Amino acid sequence: MRVEETVSERYDVNILSAFRTAIDEGARSVSIDQIGDLWASGFNSHYVYRYLSAVVDAQPEERLEAGVPQRILAGLRQLGVALQPEYLGRWEFTVATVNDRTVGDGRKPDNGASQQTATLVPAAGAKARLAAQNLNLLLEGVPGTGKTYAFKDICEKDKGLDIADNHRFVLNCHPSTQYEDVIEGLRPEAVKNENPWQPVHGSTWTDNKAGAWHVVDGVFLRACTAARLAPLVAGKKARVAILLDELNRANVPRMLGDLLTVMERSKRATFDGDGNEVQRQCDPVILPISGRTFLVPDNLIIVATMNSVDHSVAPLDQALLRRFWRVRVEPMNDKHAIAAALERKDDSDKRSDKDMWAALSDPMKEAVDAFVALNETIGAKDCLGPDGMIGQSFLFDMKALCAGQDDQTQANAIRNVWRYGVAPQVIASVQAAGKERWFSGSENDDSNGVTLVNALANCYFTLTWKGAGMTRALRMVPLERPAQTDDKVQ
C-alpha cells in the first residue's frame, strides 16, 4: 500500500516488516518491542499513525472488533510515546489522560503517574464526540483540509450532534474583529433611505444621520442567549454551536476579553427549559457597557479553526489554548478516500471507494496521485514537514473546473491549478523552512531537495530563482506536460 511504500524509502525495511507482522498478529508482547524499535529509528507519531491507519483500513471487520488497533496503541502508551489527537482520512485518534487506574494489559501506572490512553474511532462523528465532551474544540492544520467544513459535520444529525440550523452561529475572525462584534457594543440605529440602490443583496441603502445609539449584542452573546432559551429535547437542553473561523487571524485577547474564564467547560452554567439558571460553576462576568451579568450555558459548543502555517498573525496564548481540545486536521492521503469525497454527492450513493476511483477521469486520477505523492514528500521530517503539506481543497477546485470537459481541457485546467494555486503555497512553505538553496541551480547533494523537485515535476512546475538584487526571488517555472505512454492510470 502507498503508505508502506513511502515510509520504506526512509526507514529500515526489516523494522517495518516486523511492525506490520506485529499488527497483523495482534501479539502484544511482540508489538511493544517492535514499535519501540520503530520509534527509536526516528519514526515520529504522525507517520506511525498514518501507517497504522493504512493497516487498519485493510483489516476485516471482525479484527477491528477484536481490538487489534487498541493493542497497538496500548504498546505505544507503554513506550511513553507522546500521543496527540490526529485525523487520518477514515480514522481519528482520540487521546485522553488517565490517572491511577489500570491501562493496557491491566497494569497500573508507576507511582500513580498520569498516562495517556488513545482510541481509534471512525472519523465520521469523532470530532462531534470530542466537542460534546469538552464543549470547546480547536481544529488546526494547513489551509484547505476541511476544518471549516468539519463544523457542518459536527452539527449534522447523521454525523454529529443534531444541531438545528437556527442554533448555528458563525464568526469569521479577522484583524478588525473586536469585543463589540463578539460580546456587546454601542451601535447606531440605521435609518432607511429612499434611494433604491442596493449595494448588498436583500438590503437598501441606509444612513445613521437621525439614528440613536443602542447596546447591540455580538454574535457570541446571541449564541449564548439562544443556548439559554433552547428547549428541552428528551429531557436535555438542545445544543447550540458557534464557529470561530480563522481564530488566530484576530487579536484574540482584544476580541474575547473576559470571556476566557466563563467559556471553560468547568465554569459553565446550567439552565432549565424556561431559561432559568439552575446551577453555576463560577461567578458571572459583569458586561462593561450594559452592566448585565453573563454566563456561558453548558449546552453551547464552541468550535474554532486555525491555520497552523499562518505566520502573519500572533500566536495564541496558552491561557486560551488550554481551554480547547486541539485536533490536528491533516490532508487526505488515501487516493480512494479522496475519490469518494470528490465523487459522492450524498449519503444515498452507496458505491465503494474503489468504484468512485474508477469513475474519475484519467486527468483527475493523475492529479490525485500527484497530490498524494507531493504531500508524502513534503511531509517527511527531513523535507518541509507536516505544516508544508497541501490541502485537498485544490483537488475540489480541479474537479469543479473539469466538470463536463474533455480530457485535454481537463488537463489544461488542472495544470493551471497546480501552477497558480499550489505553487505559491509551496514557495511560501519552502521559504518558511529556509530551503531555498534546493532550487539554487548549483550542485546539491541533498536528496530531500532532489525528491521534492521530482515531486513538483509531476505537478507541471518547478521552482527557480529569478531576478537580481532586491528583485531576486523564488519563482514558479511551468513544465511541459509529460510525454504520454501506453500505460493508463490504474
pLDDT cut 70: percent of the chain above it: 65
Q: Is residue 323 part of a domain?
A: yes
As beta bridge partners, residue 192 has 206
Q: Is residue 201 part of a domain?
A: no
- 366-379: pLDDT as tens digits: 999 999 999 989 98
SS3 192: strand
Q: Is the pLDDT of residue 353 over 80?
A: no
CA pair distance 411, 58, nearest whole angstrom: 32
pLDDT recorded at residue 408: 92
- pTM of the complete model: 0.73
Residues 322, 340, single domain; the answer is no
Residues 322, 348, single domain; the answer is no
Boundary-marking domain end, from 90, 122, 154: 122
Residues 97, 137, single domain; the answer is no
Residues 150, 110, single domain; the answer is no
As beta bridge partners, residue 137 has 303, 325
β-strand pairing of 191-192 with 206-207: antiparallel
CA pair distance 129, 56, nearest whole angstrom: 21
Q: Is the pLDDT of residue 246 over 60?
A: yes
In this prediction, residues 166-171 reach a mean pLDDT of 96
pLDDT band at 107 (very low <50, low <70, confident <90, very high): very low
Q: For position 232, which CATH number holds? A: 3.40.50.300
Q: Where would I find the beta strands (DSSP E) of 281-371?
A: 285-286, 293-294, 300-307, 325-329
Q: Is the pLDDT of residue 186 over 50?
A: yes
pLDDT recorded at residue 190: 64
Amino acid sitting at position 388: G
**Burial class of residue 319, CB neighbours in 10 A (0-12, 13-18, 19+):** exposed
Residues 9, 141, single domain; the answer is no
CA pair distance 290, 292, nearest whole angstrom: 5
Q: Is the pLDDT of residue 426 over 70?
A: yes
Residues 406, 295, single domain; the answer is no
Please tell me which of 123-127, 196-200, 349-353 the model is most confident about, judged by mean pLDDT. Answer: 349-353
pLDDT cut 90: percent of the chain above it: 32
Pick 445 or 293 by higher pLDDT.
Answer: 293
- 72-86: pLDDT as tens digits: 555 555 555 545 544
Q: Is residue 237 part of a domain?
A: yes
As beta bridge partners, residue 139 has 305, 327
Q: In the chain, how many domains are there?
A: 3
Residues 414, 489, single domain; the answer is yes
Boundary-marking domain end, from 328, 353, 372: 328
Q: Is residue 409 part of a domain?
A: yes
Pick 365 or 56 by higher pLDDT.
Answer: 365
Q: Is residue 200 part of a domain?
A: no
As beta bridge partners, residue 475 has 464
Identify the H or E element spanning 158.
Answer: none
pLDDT band at 116 (very low <50, low <70, confident <90, very high): very low
Residues 104, 12, single domain; the answer is yes
How crowded is residue 217: how many other Cβ atoms within 10 Å of its Cβ? 18
Residues 446, 422, single domain; the answer is yes
Residues 370, 479, single domain; the answer is yes
Q: Is residue 315 part of a domain?
A: yes
pLDDT recorded at residue 220: 96
Q: Is the pLDDT of residue 475 over 60?
A: yes
Q: Is residue 190 part of a domain?
A: no
pLDDT recorded at residue 407: 92
Residues 267, 393, single domain; the answer is no
Range scoring the smallest mean pLDDT among 36-45, 169-178, 255-264, 330-339: 36-45
Boundary-marking domain end, from 278, 303, 328: 328
Q: Is residue 42 part of a domain?
A: yes
Please give the backbone phi and psi of residue 169, each rounded to the nearest 5 degrees, phi first.
-125, 145
Residues 421, 386, single domain; the answer is yes
Pick 187 or 211 by higher pLDDT.
Answer: 187
User: Which range of residues forms the domain containing residue 48?
Assistant: 1-122
